[in-house]
Amino acid sequence: MAATGHSSAGLAVAGVGKSYGSRAVLADISFSVRAGERVALTGPSGSGKTTLLNCLGGVDRPDAGEIRLGDLRLDRLDSSALAALRRERIGTIFQFFHLLPTLSVAENVELPLQLLRVPAAERRDRVHALLERVGLAGRAAALPSQLAGGEQQRVAIARALIHRPGLVLADEPTGNLDSANGANILALLREMTEEARPILILVTHSEEAAAICHRRLHLRDGRIVKET
């Protein structure tokens, strides 16, 4: 697969179910998302948002149903194919940033490109350009612990987008930020996804965050109970 970018393909979820022991976390989840569309997953704690996100990202497997990203059936891929899918076509943003604390800002952002074996010179240029874009070019050598929360999330966004994925999964990206920083991050996320046009699946409790999306899917007890 090309290392310089991926055309956005649609995401289709049909009849997905997932249980932990006897507890059903997801039940008969079905929806589809077009390329470049932003979708918010909302719902109370324990409604299954993050589990659904994990299944979409291939770090967890559904017990039932199917998940298609373009022409690929995620639920049928083995673990190494799922790892390849994640490194090539998926970008993830976490609530707690999850930057590697021992790598610098630039190294964190560069890591997905290294996994794709992009040549060093190209990596350097792309990382620099993206850090310029998120306003952190001057902090490229800093460690995550030396950054404020909002800055860390900007690095995480840069890392999620550096390899131009077709699907970006964001799990409460503003959940650990104050309102000002949260608003900045949402604006950045919107701008950047409008430029690259990946699918964005955004798990959130926040009205402000959901507002940047084209659609909302509301989950309760593992089911989609409302779509707006």
Partner 1 sequence: MIALLLLRRFSLRHWRLAPGQSALLVLILALGVAVFIAVRLANQSAVASFTNFTTTLVGQSDWVIEAPAGPLSEGVLAELRAALGARPVDLIPVVETTAGRPLPSGDTPSLERQTYTVLGIDLIAAANLPGARAASRSFLGSRADFWGDFRAGPRLWVPPALAGEKSLRLVIDDAVVDLPIAGLLPAAPGAPAFPDNLLVMDLPRLQVLADKVGRLDRVELVVAPGPRIEERRAELGAILTRLGRNGERWLVRTPGVQRATAEKMTSAFRLNLAVLSLIALLVGLFLILQALDGAVVRRRGEIAILRSLGVGEGTIRGTWLLEAALLGLLGGATGLALGWLAAQAAVQVVGRTFNALYFATTVHAAALHPGDAWTALLVGVGASVAAGWWPAREAARTPPAQILSRAGAPAAGAWLWRRPWAGLALAATGIILVRLPPLRFAGGVRFPLAGYAAALAWIVGGGMIFASALPALAARIRRLGARSAPLRVTVGHLAHPSSRHRLATAALICAIGMSAGMAILVASFETTVRGWVARALQADIYLYSAGAHSASAENRIPAATWRVLARHPGVVQAWVLADYPLQYGEGAPAVLSGTDLELIPARASLPWVAAPRDAAVFDPARNSGLALVSESFADRFDLHRGDTLRLPTPAGVKALVIAGEFSDYGNERGTVMVERSHLAGWLGDDSATHLSLFLRPGINPEAFRAQLRREYPGLQVFTHSTLRNEILRIFRQTFSITYALELIGVVVSVAGLALAMASVLLDRREELTTLRALGFTHREIALAGSLEGACLALWSIVGGLALSLALGWLLIHVINKQTFGWTLGFAIPGWSLALLAALVAGTGWAVSYAVGRWSADLPADREE
Sites of contact with partner 1 (CB under 8 A): 45-46, 49-51, 54, 57, 59-60, 79-80, 83-88, 90, 92, 94-103, 107, 110-112, 114-115, 120, 143, 145, 159, 171
Of the pair 60, 66, the CB lying nearest partner 1 is at 60
Tokens of 134: 């998120």
Of the pair 98, 220, the CB lying nearest partner 1 is at 98
> 207: Cβ–Cβ under 8 A, 6 or more apart, which residues?
none
Of the pair 14, 149, the CB lying nearest partner 1 is at 149
> 3: Cβ–Cβ under 8 A, 6 or more apart, which residues?
113, 116, 117, 118, 163
Of the pair 91, 182, the CB lying nearest partner 1 is at 91
Of the pair 38, 123, the CB lying nearest partner 1 is at 123
Contact predicate 41/204, CB 8 Å: yes
**Smallest separation, CB 149 to partner 1 (Å):** 11
**Smallest separation, CB 169 to partner 1 (Å):** 8
**Smallest separation, CB 208 to partner 1 (Å):** 21
**Smallest separation, CB 165 to partner 1 (Å):** 10
Secondary structure letter of residue 70 according to DSSP: T
Can you tell me the distance from the alpha carbon of 161 to that of 55, in angstroms, rounded to the nearest whole number?
Answer: 20
Size (the chain), residues: 228
The burial class, CB within 10 Å (0-12 / 13-18 / 19+), for 61 is middle
Of the pair 34, 77, the CB lying nearest partner 1 is at 77
Can you tell me the distance from the alpha carbon of 56 to that of 169, in angstroms, rounded to the nearest whole number?
Answer: 8
**Smallest separation, CB 176 to partner 1 (Å):** 8
C-alpha triplet 85, 133, 89: angle, nearest 5°: 5
**Smallest separation, CB 1 to partner 1 (Å):** 12
Number of C-beta neighbours around residue 89 at 10 A: 21
